[in-house]
Amino acid sequence: MPAPVLEVRGLSKSFKAVKAVRNVSFSIAKGRTFGIVGESGSGKSTTARLVLRLIDPTTGDIRFQGVDLAAMRQEELRRQRRHMQMIFQDPFGSLNGRMTVRETLTEPQLVHGIGAPASRAEVARNLLAEVGLPSSALDRFPHEFSGGQRQRIAIARALATNPELIVADEPVSALDVSVQAQVLNLMRDLQDRHGTTMLFISHDLRVVQFMCDEIAVMYLGEIVEQGPRDRIYGAPAHPYTQALLASAPGKGAGKRARLSGEIPSAHAVPSGCAFRTRCPHAHERCAIEPPVMRQLDDGQQAACHLLDQAVSV
Ligand code: SF4
Q: Which tens digits make up the pLDDT trace of 290-306?
A: 999 999 989 999 999 99
- Pocket probe mutation, ligand 1, options 220, 275, 283, 301, max atoms within 8 Å of Cβ: 275
Which atom of ligand 1 is nearest to 291's Cα?
Answer: 5
CA of 291 to the centre of ligand 1 (A): 8
Give the span between the Cα atoms of 121 and 39, in whole angstroms.
41
Supply the pLDDT for residue 93: 81
What does the radius of gyration of the chain's CA atoms come to, in whole angstroms?
A: 20
Q: How far is CA 137 from CA 90, 101, 132, 153, in A?
A: 20, 7, 11, 10
pLDDT class for 71, splitting at 50, 70, 90? confident
Q: Is 276 in the pocket of ligand 1 (CB under 6 A)?
A: yes
- Interval 210-217 mean pLDDT: 97
Q: Is the pLDDT of residue 254 over 70?
A: no
Is the pTM higher than 0.75? yes
- The third-level CATH classification (topology) of the domain covering 6-212 is Rossmann fold (3.40.50)
Supply the pLDDT for residue 19: 92
Q: Is the pLDDT of residue 176 over 70?
A: yes
**Residue 17, Cβ density class (10 Å: 0-12 exposed, 13-18 middle, ≥19 buried):** exposed
Return the amino acid letter for 64.
F
CA of 275 to the centre of ligand 1 (A): 6
Question: Residue ranges per domain, the chain?
Answer: 6-212, 226-308
